[in-house]
Amino acid sequence: QSALTQPRSVSGSPGQSVTISCTGTSSDVGAYNFVSWYQQHPGKAPKLIIYDVSKRPSGVPDRFSGSKSGNTASLNISGLQGEDEADYYCSSFADNHVRVFGGGTKLTVL
């Protein structure tokens, strides 16, 4: 099972919006609506910010939103803030009860 494909880095200015893509296959992202996204600050454990493609856990700002089209999922962050600077990972449920992560995207807030 190959890792999902994410851009290595994205950047944006405070107040702007950015989108991070996550491309898989018809065996993972394309087959199931079980894509989740995680935010990881340096030296910290990952934190769940989106699950089941577009749902937000309690406490996650509505500036974070998720979507999916075909084999590609996307995370959109609007109204960028300095605290959003972090690494972001997507994950998907896949055939044979496998889970797979993306390679991660470093978000820089300029």
Partner 1 sequence: EVQLVQSGAEVKKPGESLKISCKSFGYTFTTHWIAWVRQMPGKGLEWMGSIYSGDSDTRYSPSFQGQVTISVDRSISTAHLQWTSLKVSDTAMYYCARLEGVGAFDTWGQGTMITVSS
User: Least distance from C-beta 16 to partner 1, angstroms?
Assistant: 25
Q: What's the token pair of residue 99?
A: 């889970």
User: Least distance from C-beta 108 to partner 1, angstroms?
Assistant: 16
Single residue of 14, 98, 108, 110 touching partner 1 by CB under 8 A:
98
Task: Return the SS3 of 50.
Answer: strand
Single residue of 32, 72, 76, 78 touching partner 1 by CB under 8 A:
32
Nearest alpha-carbon partner for 73 in 4, 1, 14: 4
Is residue 65 at the binding interface for partner 1, with CB under 8 A as the rule?
Answer: no
Single residue of 5, 19, 30, 101 touching partner 1 by CB under 8 A:
101
Is residue 93 at the binding interface for partner 1, with CB under 8 A as the rule?
Answer: yes
What gap in Å lies between CA 81 and CA 17, rounded to an integer? 10
CB atoms within 10 A of CB 28: 24
Q: Are 72 and 22 in contact (CB under 8 A)?
A: yes
Is residue 91 at the binding interface for partner 1, with CB under 8 A as the rule?
Answer: yes
